[in-house]
Chain A
């Protein structure tokens, strides 16, 4: 019974993340538009965009190889699989034992690897530029992410995301300086991983500062739809991970009744709403950085993670 329960939750979560991902992107855009005193498009506009892209024909560069055509599906599927491992409304996931936080980060790394390769396939200078900068930013973000994992694993005695979430929800945690430091570091890494301002600007085209958009420049039609959906999904994944680790309020544990799942679902929606508002506000209140200032930002995240880890050695209470 418990197994069936977990599988049902897993399936529900897989459907939920795909269904909600464009909504989150729409929400962030709406918040940004409102702050800029614009009315902005409807929060459902990303769904319409996806439908439009899916209905259009694909314009493929003459020399595109099989890698270019298969990459969008794999990128989306990898991101989706990673999103399936992050607790959203319940920690009772059937497959959560298949990979810990390190594995989730590595799956996202695999998606990025493919995206960077796809960017280089056509042989345009924009694609190479995007790929080269993307891997540079990733090489800075991943050590920072690992320091975060080390600090979390030191506290929770586990690198399993569900276990960390359960531990963080328990009263054993209390208020710790390390948690705050790790939260800031995680937020910075999430911004970089999702190509948000100040690291990259998801709204630009034809700008020499673009990274993610430069890689996907040659994509169109259903391929572009897959990549856009994967990007939305990755944003949702990062926000879910932050919510599950640092604000595990309302997460339904295993064996909880359907009421607990309802509470988990509502609180998850609320968390998404709040984080979309926060992300939009943050993006509107800061300017994009030059590419070569990004190392300072991510180096800061690394140092915060290291500081959080070392504080844990000095004191049990910090």
Chain B
């Protein structure tokens, strides 16, 4: 099995070479994306098959001569290979149509297949060297795609910040693996797993992993690069970065914390729970304040990563107390959300790309009314919005429901920290879900509903067939995963079994196709029955109304309380829609302030409103670091302009100092 995956990766490399050669010919775009789609489809099927099979391993004499490159496709890797290539397949298919509008395809085509390769390689790597190589390759290729459109200063800055954060992430993971290998001295995962580190060392590794994988995934406060970099790339690459690359980071976290480290300490579970909860809520609050559609979606990825980490934190908490079933439930919820988020975030980015193609605008304040010009796109985007807002019977609801069930399962763990953290995380999760609904009412309402706010939005045209087909496919998958959640849960059984030694009961055979995570008396949910139920009530309503009510319909101008205003500028804007939420939550989260300056009575001058808000994470986590680096760099700068005598003196002093230390040490 692993050999097939590696062959797929080689194919990606070949496609990348062809991409570089063909980049300037009109054949390049359809060839690169079409071939990538085919290879991704094959790899996705292999990943799916790996779920039902024993792990397969392979060692190739590549990389460092005395280490070799280890690859392993176990159930966890199989699941993530599936998710990665599902996203890759969608993005490639979408790219066939979307890529035609690319102004400089030679900046995208060579890197795109290699990015897919790197994403897969991280997942199948089974030693630290291969893993870190793949991780850095993933960072570099995605960086190249982020700065593909390098004309805007914003994009260049996004690329710069991204590169810095990627370096931080790679460095911390390098240290983490170094510590893990230290005990056994071997770089392969199998050897690391055989010799688990001591408690203190495990704590350091966990924190390093949280920084390394968390910064790639977008955990607050390490998220700063994400909402800059994801929107800067072409839309299908944004979909890959948001929907897939963050999931690969989640994979890295699971691989290290659940597979290599063994049972965590209780405080690390509390740390992950706290980070997950605050990331979920802050991420969606940031998203609500955006008026750039793609940046809104990118911030929303931060929220969903928070939800996934809540699930992972719950699984860790259950593991601390040896409650294997609870851990399996929480991990299933987290992995289900990984799958779901890959689906609907890709779908939403495809929709945003379609809007950008049709109107040339990403700023919602210049959009509006697109539902009448782009029927299919708007419908698919609506499905995505409903799914990400966790509305039944779609898939987003199921994974959040499972997370809630894990929270409700046993808040009676012995540790007081868990007793408090579980309900608090539940409240944060539902706050995030409600705010997500608000956010997507805004995203859909301002972009697609209302009256067009610019000429470009008035003349928007529906996009090409490839884009539409991709969006339709992903929207269907969102619905199917919501109606038949038992299939996904059963698919995750081998993953949790391999990692935790426990799994949820089989769901497919249950009557009414319902899912019962623990016991029927406790809770059950049936997407299919609910869907059928809602469909039945809807059709009953429609039939009854059309049978008994008047059919008369008259088109007229909008009522608007008798004073309709012809100017579309009088509609609610993205900023005004978010104003109540900004006022309620923003005062503490962003120190948002609004001051109204009224002219004195009798003065006919206009009143002014001043709004201010601060990004506290940037102010308190990043700005001090930047300042410290600047100050120390200025101080060290003097060393550059010394005379040769002083340099020699410095060398001499350093030598003496080192020897003294050595002597004193012994």
Contacts and interface: CB of A to CB of B under 8 A. Distances in A.
B626 interface: no
B311 to A, nearest CB: 16
B561 A120 contact: no
A291 B405 CA distance: 33
Given A58-B554, A125-B560, A138 B584 contact: no
Interface string A71-90: 00110111011001000000
Contacts of A221: 549-550, 552-553
Could you say which of B397, B525, B534, B537 has the most chain A C-beta atoms within 10 Å of its C-beta? B537
A303 B110 CA distance: 55
Q: Which of B514, B533, B554, B564 has the most CB of A within 10 A?
A: B533
Contacts of A268: none
Contacts of B372: 63, 65
A201 B441 CA distance: 23
29 contacts: A58-B550, A58-B554, A77-B537, A77-B541, A78-B534, A99-B392, A103-B530, A106-B390, A109-B434, A113-B441, A116-B445, A120-B445, A123-B369, A124-B560, A128-B445, A131-B441, A131-B572, A132-B580, A135-B581, A140-B434, A141-B434, A153-B408, A154-B411, A158-B521, A160-B522, A218-B559, A222-B550, A292-B583, A309-B411
Contact of A157 (B522, B525, B537): B522
Interface string B366-395: 001101100100000010001001111000
User: In this complex, which of B390, B524, B542 has the most chain A Cβ atoms within 10 angstroms of its Cβ?
Assistant: B524
A309 B561 contact: no
A140 B583 CA distance: 13
Contact of A128 (B369, B423, B526, B576): B576
Interface of A: 14, 54-63, 65-67, 73-74, 76-78, 80-81, 84, 95, 97-100, 102-103, 106-107, 109-110, 112-113, 116-117, 120-129, 131-133, 135-136, 138-143, 145-147, 149-150, 153-154, 157-160, 163, 205-206, 217-218, 220-222, 225-226, 291-292, 295, 302, 306, 309-310, 313
Contact of B444 (A78, A81, A117, A128): A117
Interface in B514-561: 514, 520-526, 529-530, 533-534, 537-538, 540-542, 545, 548-550, 552-561
B438 A97 contact: no
Contacts of B424: 306
Chain B: interface secondary structure? helix
Contact of A218 (B444, B540, B560): B560
Contact of B430 (A56, A112, A146, A306): A146
B523 A120 contact: no
Given A99-B530, A142-B433, 11 more contacts: A54-B550, A57-B554, A59-B555, A59-B559, A73-B541, A98-B526, A135-B442, A136-B584, A146-B430, A160-B521, A217-B561
List the 6 closest pairs (A to B, CB-CB), nearest first: A128-B572, A57-B552, A123-B450, A135-B438, A120-B445, A123-B451
Contacts of B431: 139, 142-143
A125 B445 contact: no
Nearest to B510: A97
B435 interface: yes
Interface of B: 368-369, 371-372, 375, 382, 386, 389-392, 397, 401, 404-405, 407-408, 411-412, 419-420, 423-424, 426-431, 433-435, 437-438, 440-442, 444-446, 449-451, 512, 514, 520-526, 529-530, 533-534, 537-538, 540-542, 545, 548-550, 552-561, 564-565, 568, 570-572, 576-581, 583-584
B437 A135 contact: yes
Nearest to B582: A136
A102 B404 contact: yes
Contacts of B559: 59, 61, 217-218, 220
B431 to A, nearest CB: 4
A65 B445 CA distance: 12
A292 B538 contact: no
A146 B427 contact: yes
B533 A84 contact: yes
Contacts of A217: 559-561
B580 A133 contact: yes
A106 to B, nearest CB: 5
B524 A160 contact: yes
Contacts of A226: 541, 545
A80 B391 contact: no
A128 B525 contact: no
Nearest to B412: A313
Majority-rule SS of A interface residues = helix
B408 A63 contact: no
Given A97-B512, A158-B523, A107 B392 contact: yes
Contact of A160 (B412, B523, B560, B578): B523
B345 to A, nearest CB: 18
A61 B554 CA distance: 8
Contacts of A147: 423, 426-427
A66 B530 CA distance: 24
Given A58-B553, A120-B450, A313-B419, A150 B437 contact: no
Contact of B584 (A62, A140, A222): A140
Given A77-B537, A109-B434, A117-B449, A129 B555 contact: no
A103 B398 CA distance: 9
Contacts of B397: 103, 106
Nearest to B390: A106
Contacts of B430: 142-143, 145-146
Given A74-B538, A159-B523, A98 B512 contact: yes
A143 B444 contact: no
A231 B442 CA distance: 23
Given A123-B451, A132-B580, A150-B411, A222 B445 contact: no
Contact of B553 (A60, A76, A125): A60
Contacts of A218: 558-560
Contacts of B434: 109, 135, 138-143
A98 B529 contact: yes
Contacts of A205: 561
Given A61-B559, A97-B512, A158-B523, A225 B450 contact: no
B584 A292 contact: yes
Contact of B391 (A76, A113, A149, A157): A113
Given A61-B559, A62-B556, A123-B571, A306 B538 contact: no
A109 B564 CA distance: 30
A125 B571 contact: yes
B392 A106 contact: yes
B205 to A, nearest CB: 32
Contacts of B419: 313
Contacts of B548: 54
A64 B16 CA distance: 47
Contacts of B449: 65, 67, 117, 120-121, 123
Contact of B549 (A77, A220, A222): A222
A311 B602 CA distance: 58
A245 B556 CA distance: 47
A36 to B, nearest CB: 26
A206 B561 contact: yes
B301 to A, nearest CB: 19
Contacts of A133: 580
Contacts of B411: 150, 154, 309, 313
A107 B530 CA distance: 9
A58 B554 CA distance: 6
Contacts of A131: 441, 445, 572, 577
